[in-house]
Chain A
Amino acid sequence: MAKTVDQYLDDLRGTRVWRSIFRSGTGSSTLKRALAIQQNVFLHLFSTKVRTRMLSFSATWYLGTLTLGTFLILVATGIPLMFYYHPSVPQAYADTKDLQFVVSSGLFLRNLHRWSAHAMVFLVFAHMFKVFYRGAYRTPREFNWVIGVILLLMTLLLSYTGYLLPWDQLAYWAITVGSNIASAVPVMGEKIHFLLLGGNAVNANALLRFYVLHCMILPLAAMFFVAIHFWRIRKDGGLYSHDSEPAALRANVATDAAPAKEAQ
C-alpha cells in the first residue's frame, strides 16, 4: 500500500536531522504534546496545559492573540519598508512617494503597515478593557497588568514615532502638536521637548531619532516585555487562575467541578 502524506511527514519527523533540530521528538501522545511546548524556547513561555474554559471565545475574544498578530504583521511589513527608506530630509518623503508609485507592491506594504498599526492600538485598548471587565488583573496577576500598561504605552509610542516617518504635512504637524505637549511639563518641559526632537522644532534630527526609536529600540523593548507578559501568564497560574477568582465565584466553581465529593 502506498504511503499517505501523513506517513511521509512522520518519517521526516523521525529522521536524525529533524530530531537534532526539534528536541521534543515525534508522536502525538500527551507526553509528546507537552514536550512540544515545554522543549521549545519560544513556546515554553506558555504552560503545557490550559483550563478548557479559556478556549471559549467569550473568555478572551482572542484580543491578546490578535494584538500579537498585528505586531507580527507590523514586523513582517516593516522590515521590507526599511529597505526602501532613508531617514533624511527631504529624501524620506521621496522614498514614501516611491513606495506609493514605483516600488512593486510598495503601496500594499505601506497600506498594510499603516492599517495594522491602527488595528494594534485599537486592539491593545480593547484587550485592556476586556481584562479589566473580566477581573483578570486580580491577585496573583497584578504585576502582569502593570506590564500590560507598560506595553500599552509602548504601543502608543511605536505608533507615534512611526507617524512622523513619511515626512508629509500630516506627519509633520501631528508630531508638532503632540511634542508641544511635552513642553508643558513643569520645570523641565523645554528640556524634554529638546531631548525628544533633537532640536527646538521637528526637523531632520527628530526624524532620525524617531526612526531609530521606531525601528530599533521600541520594537526590541516591546518584544522583551511581551515575552515577560506571556511568561507571567504561566507563572501566575494561567487564565481562570483559581486564586484570582472572587471568593463567591470560587465557591461556585468548586461545587460545579466536584459534585461527586458532595454526594459522598
Chain B
Amino acid sequence: MSDSKDFTAGVDSNAKKSPRRIVFITRRTSAQVKAETEDQVQTFPEVLFRAAVAVMTLAVVLVWIALMFNAPLEGLADPSHTPNPAKAPWYFLGLQEMLHYFPPVVAGVLVPGLVVMALIVIPYFKVNIEADGLFLKDRQLRLRIFYVGASALSLFLLLFKIYAALVPTLIMAGVMLVAAQSSPQSSSAFRRYLAARPLSYWVMTWFLFELVVLTAIGTFFRGAGWAFVWPWLG
C-alpha cells in the first residue's frame, strides 16, 4: 500500500520473568494484545522442591502416627455374631446416621446420588459464576424465597425429629439473616464478607456443616441400637 512501514513494533523487555513478547500493531486493524504480565517462576525447581518438602513433612507425620497408634484389629469375622452397633467406615457414618431417620432408598440412594449430581453440575451452574452477594440484587424477592425455603426445610426436619440436621440448618439460616442485613458498606469486616457471599457459598457451607455434624454424631455419639450416647460415658 504505502511506502512506509505498515506497523509499529513493541517489546516487553522483562525477559527474566516472562518470555519476550514482541507485538506488531498494524495501523489499519489496531490489534489488541491480551497479554498477561503476571510474575511467573520455573516449575523446576520452585514448585517441585516445595511439593517434595510438603510430601516429606506429611510422611514424617504419618510415620509418627503409625509408630504411636496401632490400627484396630478385632476378632475373626463371624457372620452369626452381629456387633451392636455395626458401623460403616467413618466417612459413611453421615449416611448411616441418615439411614436412622429415612428409608434406605432415600438415605442410601437418593441423597448420595443427588449430592454427587450436585457436585458435578457446580461449575456448569450459572449462579456460581456470577459470584455476587446473594442478597445484593432483587433483595425483597430473594429474601422471600429464602424465608420460604429455610422454613420449609426446618419444618420438614422438625416433623421427622431430625434434630441433628435441624440445628446446623437453623444456625446457617441465622448467619444468612445477618448476611441479608449486611451490605458492602457495613462497618464490620465480617459483615462485609457475609454480604458478598453468593448462593453457591451458602449451599456448600450448609452441606459441609451438615456433613461434619452428621459424621461426628454417627462416629462419636451413637451406641447400641443406634441410641444417642455421650462418648465420655463408656
B138 CB within 8 Å of chain A:
no
Chain B positions within 8 Å of A240 at CB level: 38
Chain B positions within 8 Å of A171 at CB level: 77
Give the complex CA separation of A201 and B63 in angstroms. 36
Give the complex CA separation of A127 and B57 in angstroms. 18
Q: Is the CB of A181 within 8 A of B62?
A: no
Q: Which of A68, A115, A178 contacts B65 (CB 8 A)?
A: A115
Q: Which of B54, B86, B95 contacts A62 (CB 8 A)?
A: B54
Chain A positions within 8 Å of B73 at CB level: 96-97, 100, 166, 168, 170
Q: Is the CB of B38 within 8 A of A172?
A: no
- Interface secondary structure of B, over-half rule: helix
Min CB–CB distance B207 → chain A (angstroms): 9
Q: Is the CB of A178 within 8 A of B104?
A: no
Question: Which residues 169-210 in A have Cβ within 8 Å of B in the complex?
Answer: 169-174, 176-178, 180-186, 201-202
Give the complex CA separation of A251 and B88 in angstroms. 49
Q: Is the CB of B59 within 8 A of A73?
A: yes
Chain A positions within 8 Å of B88 at CB level: 174, 177-178
How many positions in chain A have a CB within 8 Å of any CB in the partner chain?
Answer: 90
Q: A178-B89, A186-B109 are in contact. Are A69 and B58 (CB under 8 A)?
A: yes
- Greatest chain A CB density within 10 A among B40, B77, B89, B123 is at B77
One of B114-122, B142-150, B154-162 contacting the partner: B114-122
Q: A52-B38, A119-B62, A169-B77 are in contact. Are A132 and B86 (CB under 8 A)?
A: no
One of B45-53, B172-180, B186-194 contacting the partner: B45-53
Q: Which of A118, A133, A173 contacts B83 (CB 8 A)?
A: A173
27 A-B pairs within 8 Å (CB atoms) are namely A43-B43, A48-B43, A48-B44, A49-B40, A49-B41, A49-B42, A51-B38, A52-B38, A62-B50, A65-B55, A90-B77, A96-B73, A108-B67, A111-B70, A112-B63, A129-B204, A133-B201, A135-B128, A139-B129, A163-B89, A168-B74, A170-B72, A170-B74, A172-B78, A181-B109, A182-B108, A240-B38
Nearest 8 A/B pairs, CB to CB: A184-B104, A172-B77, A142-B123, A181-B108, A69-B55, A111-B66, A114-B71, A112-B66
Given A51-B38, A66-B54, A173-B83, 18 other A-B residues pairs in contact with their CB atoms under 8 A: A48-B44, A50-B43, A55-B47, A62-B50, A69-B54, A69-B59, A100-B73, A108-B66, A115-B62, A119-B58, A138-B129, A156-B92, A160-B89, A174-B88, A181-B108, A181-B109, A183-B104, A257-B37
Question: Which residues of B are in contact with A by a Cβ distance under 8 Å?
Answer: 36-48, 50-51, 54-55, 58-59, 62-63, 65-67, 69-79, 81-83, 86-92, 95-96, 99, 103-105, 108-109, 116, 119-120, 122-124, 128-129, 131, 200-201, 204, 208
